Structure 1
Amino acid sequence: MKITSYQPFFGISPKQLNDEDFNRLTTYFQLLDSVEKPVVSLVTPVYRAKETLVGHICSLANLKTIIPYEVIFVENNADTESLSILQQLGAKVVSQPEQGITHARQKGLEVARGQIICSMDPDTIYDPYYIDHMVLPFFEEEDLVLTYSVSKSYDADFQLSRKMKLRNKLKEMYFRMKMAKGFTSRIKHIRAVCMAIKKDALLPIGYETDLRAVSGCDDGMLAMHLHTKGIFQYVPVDVYTALPPKREPGKPFPFCNERFINTNTPLEDTYHSLEIEKIGQ
């Protein structure tokens, strides 16, 4: 898979696609609508994804498998542009107004019809054989509850510089080392962008929706709970995703930080005033 082949789809809307690509993507979603009994559910939460969403959808349309599947986009107060992309192409969209990545993933879990849930991200490009690689192991190992992999990163516009190629090699070596060190290390380094989960094992657990003070967000917590349900398997497969946001020292990723949560501004101002008065006394 060449990530650079998706460069023409970066930052564009469906209106900017040529007729062939537009018809291919709209026909793709029409065909998915006719799948009556999906074995796999690909669940993609969407918040702010207008630059990478068309490329992500193109990678889904390039998937090659005989396994019937469905694609569900969970819009989590998504921006107008991202919603418009999904609507113009005819994608299946469900809404989760309660803000937060875990709320969105939980909604996707609740509406999914497949036996296996693939946790997807809208800034990510997936290998054409991703479903086969991630899902077929479940039919070989009865006790398997989770397959996972390590994603690579791309530069802006779906490009891949020499520096990024080197970074990806070092990243894969680092993650493989961490995931070979045992339970604690493996749990901390599993990432939702490359996870396939047995639905029957996941439903009783669900996604943690109160993660304001949890470093690593939903990925590690979910893996920790699943560890009590069965076994895990690492799967080597090509997945390219955007670089994660910078972390504050000692803090979780920004979408888990309290300063990114919508708050009551007037109440904050009142507290701030009280603190100033108290210091003044």
Structure 2
Amino acid sequence: MRQFKNPDWIADIKFEYESFEQIPSHVFDSINQDLDRVQSKEPLASIVISAWNEEVNILRTVASLSRMKTQIPFEIIVINNNSQDRTQDTIDRLHVKGLFQEKQGCGFARQMGQEQAAGKYILLADADCYYPSCWVDEMVKVLQEPGVVCVYGRYSFISEEGFPRWKLFLLEMMKDAFAEIRHIKRPYYNSFGLSMGFIREYGLKVGFVPSRWRGDDGQLCLGLMEYGKIKQVRSNKARAWTAPRTLKRTGTFSQVVKERILIEAKRFTGNFNSRMPENISMLDE
């Protein structure tokens, strides 16, 4: 149960390596066997991942995606966003479509990814997350509903010292409640690139914001609202999982909760206003 512990399937691919040099060849071989099994040369969906200095994290992410259980043909595209570590070496050892974007910023990388994608649907994933085997199915299922152009999923945090699962679960309940309120008028504030999907045709029309700063995912969602509906994938079994490193930047768990409540309180009334902002400042995951 996610209330009290991390999912068992994560332990299998939570590689305890600290650098590319430490990754054994047999790990790449095992992941590549799974990648060859699940990927298609004629994909319906393209999973696009921007990676900046994620030489070990990207291994974990791709390993989780290689274990998808789905009949939906898909491909994985990883864009090295001008990394200064050995992210490129990791990508080169994996059977994925690898690209290089020298312009720093997720917007630049994701734009390149969707331009080079072959799928009708684009699924955005982050280079430091883990994805359950049903993720592709659950995301595409909602994305294929009539009139839907963009979807976003929920996410959970992996417990670490100082951030036990039961506390993180309470934080997630609060986060999900705020997301339901925001979704009424401003779903773009919920659309994080760690679990997001859209129809490529419309994504190309809107385009990602050419910026090195955060918010390109929400800004894309805002633009897509012109073409159709934005829906939330509420399936808890399809949650993406990520380490709490963004939370740790704030400080202790209590400091994180206080900051989140203050941020949501300041913009609470705006959640019921349909006025569209020119720029979107997103909460860290």
Q: TM-score, normalised by structure 1?
A: 0.76
Partner of residue 172, structure 1: 173
| CA distance in 1: counterparts of 2:142 and 2:282, whole angstroms | 31
TM superposition shift of 1:16:
3.3
In structure 2, what residue type is equivalent to 1:44? Answer: I
Q: 1:9 to 1:115 in 2, by over 3 A?
A: farther
2:156 to 109, 130, 152: 152
Match of 1:232 in 2: 230
1:82 to 83, 87, 91: 87
Question: Aligned partners of 1:50, 1:7: CA distance in 2, in Å?
Answer: 14
Cα distance in 2 between the residues matched to 1:99 and 1:181: 30
8 Å Cα contact 1:150-1:172 kept in structure 2: no
Change (3 A) 1:161 1:238: farther
Are the counterparts in 1 of residues 121 and 198 from structure 2 also a CA contact under 8 Å?
A: yes
Greater C-alpha Rg = 1
Match of 2:204 in 1: 203
Question: Which residue of 42, 55, 60 maps to 2:65?
Answer: 60
Deviation at 1:185, TM superposition (A): 4.3
Contact 1:179 1:185 in 2 (8 A): no
Distance, in Å, in 2 between the alignment partners of 1:232 and 1:160 is: 36
Selected match of 1:6 from 1, 13, 34: 13
Question: 1:90-239 alignment to 2 at 5 Å?
Answer: 90-139=95-144, 141-155=145-159, 163-210=164-211, 217-235=215-233, 236=235, 237-239=238-240
**For residue 23 of structure 2, what is the amino acid of its counterpart?**
Q
Could you tell me which amino acid in structure 1 is paired with residue 243 of structure 2?
Answer: A
Give the CA deviation at 1:9: 4.8
Indicate whether 1:242 and 2:243 are aligned. yes
Deviations 1:222-275 (A, max 9, x none): 12111121112211222111332747x9996799xxxxxxxxxxxxxxxxxxxx
Ranges in structure 2 where 5+ consecutive residues have no aligned partner: 1-6, 251-258, 264-279
Number of paired residues? 245
CA distance 1:233–1:48, change in 2 (3 Å): same
- Percent identity over the alignment? 21
Give the 3-state SS of the residue equivalent to 1:7 in structure 2. Answer: coil
SS in 1 for 2:114: helix
More helix by share: 1
Letter in 2 for 1:42: I
State how far apart, in whole Å, the 1-side matches of 2:50 and 2:14 are.
22
Structure 1 position 183, deviation (Å): 4.3
Amino acid at match of 1:227: M
Offset of residue 15 of structure 1: 5.9
1:175 Cα deviation after fit: 2.7
Q: Deviation digits for residues 119-161 of structure 1, max 9, x if unmatched?
A: 011100001110000002233x221111211211124xxx587
Alpha-carbon offset, residue 190 of structure 1: 2.2
Work out whether residues 154 and 160 of structure 1, in 8 Å CA contact, stay in contact via their aligned partners in 2. no
Structure 1, unaligned runs of 5 or more: 256-281
Q: Residue type matched to 1:26 in 2?
A: N
Shift of 1:45: 0.7
CA RMSD of aligned residues (A): 3.0
Q: Which string of whole-angstrom CA distances, capped at 9 and with x for unpartnered residues, describes residues 22-66 of structure 1?
A: 322223444567x33100000011111123122112101111111
TM-score, structure 2 as length reference: 0.75
Mapped to 2, the partners of 1:120 and 1:100 lie a distance apart of: 15
